[in-house]
Homo-oligomer: A and B are copies of this chain.
Amino acid sequence: MSHMEYGRLMAVDPDHVLRSAAALLTHKATATMDEVAKAAGISRATLHRHFAGRDALVRALESLGIAECEAALDAARLDEGTASEAVRRLVGAIEPAVGLLGFLYTENQLFEGEEQNAGWTLIDDRISALFRRGQLSGEFRIDLTPAWLTEALYGLLASAAWMVQSGKGAPKDFHYMIVELLLGGALRREES
A161 CB → nearest B CB, Å = 10
A56 beta carbon closer than 8 Å to chain B: no
Asked if A147 contacts B163 (CB within 8 A), the reply is yes
Binds B, one of A3-11, A12-20, A45-53, A180-188: A180-188
Q: Which of A145-192 contact B (CB under 8 A)?
A: 145, 147-149, 151-152, 154-160, 162-163, 168-169, 173, 177, 180-189
Contact of A108 with B109 at beta-carbon distance under 8 Å, contacts A158-B158, A188-B138 already known:
no
A178 CB → nearest B CB, Å = 8
A79 CB → nearest B CB, Å = 18
Contact of A185 with B183 at beta-carbon distance under 8 Å, contacts A151-B160, A155-B159, A168-B147 already known:
yes
Asked if B140 contacts A151 (CB within 8 A), the reply is no
A139 beta carbon closer than 8 Å to chain B: yes
Asked if A187 contacts B183 (CB within 8 A), the reply is yes
What separation, in Å, do the CA atoms of A148 and B170 have in the docked complex?
Answer: 11
Asked if B186 contacts A186 (CB within 8 A), the reply is no
A4 CB → nearest B CB, Å = 32
Nearest B residue (CB) for A187: B183
In the complex, which residues of chain B have a beta carbon less than 8 angstroms from the beta carbon of A38? none
Q: Chain A contact residues: over half helix, strand or loop, or mixed?
A: helix
Asked if A188 contacts B144 (CB within 8 A), the reply is no
Contact of A159 with B151 at beta-carbon distance under 8 Å, contacts A141-B187, A187-B141, A188-B138 already known:
yes
Nearest B residue (CB) for A153: B159
Asked if B185 contacts A184 (CB within 8 A), the reply is yes
Interface residues of A (CB under 8 A from B): 28-30, 84, 106, 108-109, 112, 131, 134, 138-145, 147-149, 151-152, 154-160, 162-163, 168-169, 173, 177, 180-189
